[in-house]
Amino acid sequence: MMMMSKSSIVFAVGLVASAVSASSMKSRTDTEPRTAIVVLDHISPSSNVSGTVWFSQACADSPVQISGHIEGLAPNSPHGAHVHQLGNLTAGCASSGGHFNPFNQTHGAPSDEVRHVGDMGNLVADEGGVIEFELEDVWMSLYESDTSILGRTLVLHGGQDDLGKGGNQTSLENGNSGDRIACGIVGFA
Ligand SMILES: *[C@@H]1O[C@H](CO)[C@@H](O)[C@H](O)[C@H]1NC(C)=O
Ligand SMILES: *[C@@H]1O[C@H](CO)[C@@H](O)[C@H](O)[C@H]1NC(C)=O
Ligand SMILES: *[C@@H]1O[C@H](CO)[C@@H](O)[C@H](O)[C@H]1NC(C)=O
Ligand SMILES: *[C@@H]1O[C@H](CO)[C@@H](O)[C@H](O)[C@H]1NC(C)=O
Ligand SMILES: [Cu+2]
């Protein structure tokens, strides 16, 4: 009897929730396109980096399209970029954990077979210190799955990512790309 009444309550709550979502929220099914956004912030007083990164995915089986505008960087400088595991910015970018790596692989280039799901390679600033980029990624997802990046943190580093080819242990973990100079949580858009 307990079980029966508990599940009826859950069922009733479910009905209310789906009525609300149909009338006032975007659909979140596997076949509807999804978008997400990251606002990259001046995370420390000594950094002037800011920007916005947009993600979109047509359906759960299609690649993620990523584009962005980031400014305030040193002229002509390369910067490692990764989705890190956690969306916890309590201690700034430092508390976002390591690279998002659901398959426990070593670090690599985005085009490598062996890589972290969060690996985005290097983004290169122009002579004005601006990064404008467009990427496509077949590993990350905006849908509920092992590879979902939603709620995690996009981190931009101060230095160049060696893409796992640096020849030491930290290269295989994080690409030796230096300080975390800007970051932001990947949010539904
Ligand atoms: C940030 O901008 C201020 C004002 O333009 C400048 O003085 C400072 O050197 C910049 N900091 C960095 C790390 O580029
Ligand atoms: C968030 O990060 C801070 C700083 O690293 C840590 O102390 C805290 O336990 C984390 N919070 C959770 C809920 O994991
Ligand atoms: C991840 O891989 C490393 C290196 O191969 C291994 O030592 C570790 O036990 C693995 N961790 C998990 C959770 O499987
Ligand atoms: C690996 O090499 C990089 C670049 O020289 C260096 O910054 C890093 O500290 C090294 N890591 C280890 C574990 O020696
Ligand atoms: Cu990183």
> 34 with 142: CB under 8 angstroms?
yes
From CA 154, how far away is CA 185, in angstroms rounded?
6
CA 72–ligand 1 middle distance (angstroms): 8
pLDDT class of 47 with cuts at 50, 70, 90:
confident
123-166 pLDDT per residue, tens? 999 999 999 999 999 999 999 999 999 999 999 999 999 999 99
Mark whether 84 is an active-site residue.
yes
Domain boundaries, the chain: 34-188
Helix, strand or coil for residue 21? helix
Is the separation of the CB atoms in 106 and 141 below 8 Å?
Answer: no
Q: Is the CB of 48 under 6 A from ligand 1?
A: yes
Q: In the CATH hierarchy, which top-level class contains the domain 34-188?
A: mainly beta
pLDDT band at 44 (very low <50, low <70, confident <90, very high): low
Identify residue 186 by its one-letter amino acid code.
V
**Whether residue 119 lies in the annotated active site:** yes
- Note the pTM of the prediction, 2 decimals: 0.86
Query: pLDDT (tens digit, 9 = 90+) per residue, 11-35?
Result: 443 333 444 444 344 556 788 999 9
